[in-house]
Amino acid sequence: MKKAEKKLATVRTQYGLFQCVFEPEPDMGGYTAVAPKVRGAVSWGSTLAEAKRMIVEAIEGVYKTKMSAVEFEREDDGRWIAEIPTLPGVMAYGATKQDALRNVYAIALRTLAEEVEQGASLTPFSHFFGYEMAHR
C-alpha cells in the first residue's frame, strides 16, 4: 500500500503568511494540518481546502490567546509586577501598574523580535498594542 504524500502550502492569516504541512489522515479521511512555527496550531479538515481554512483559524486563535492577557500582582514592597503568561519569561516590575505595563510591553517586543529573527512569521503586534500596522 502506497503511503500518501504530505503537502506543503503557505496560508495567509491576519498575522502574516505561515508555511503549513498537510498530511492525509488514513483513519478518519481528510487531512491533518500543522503550522510548525506556531506552537499549538494543529487542525483537521475533511478536504484539503477545509484543512487550510481550519489551520488559519488555529493559527489566529493561538496568536489571539498569546497576546490577550497581561496579569498584574502587587508585591509586599509596593512594586507592581506585570506578566504575559503566554509568552514564557515575559514579566517586569514597575513602581506603578502603568510602569510595569510599559516595561512588560518592552520585554514582549524584544521576545517577539527574537522569534521573528529565528524564522517565525510576522507576529500580531497590532492586537498587543491596540493599533494597526501599515500594510502595502
How is 102-134 classified by DSSP, letter by letter? HHHHHHHHHHHHHHHHTT-----HHHHHTSPPP
Residue 27 lies in a domain: yes
Same domain, 50 and 85: no
What integer pLDDT is reported at residue 121 of this predicted model? 52
Same domain, 80 and 111: yes
- Containing structural domain, residue 98: 69-118
Average pLDDT for runs of 10 along the chain of length 136: 81 89 93 91 95 94 75 94 87 92 88 76 50 44
Same domain, 77 and 53: no
What integer pLDDT is reported at residue 68 of this predicted model? 63
pTM as predicted? 0.55
Number of structural domains the chain divides into: 2
Within 12-83, residue ranges assigned H as helices are 48-68
What integer pLDDT is reported at residue 101 of this predicted model? 86
What integer pLDDT is reported at residue 134 of this predicted model? 45
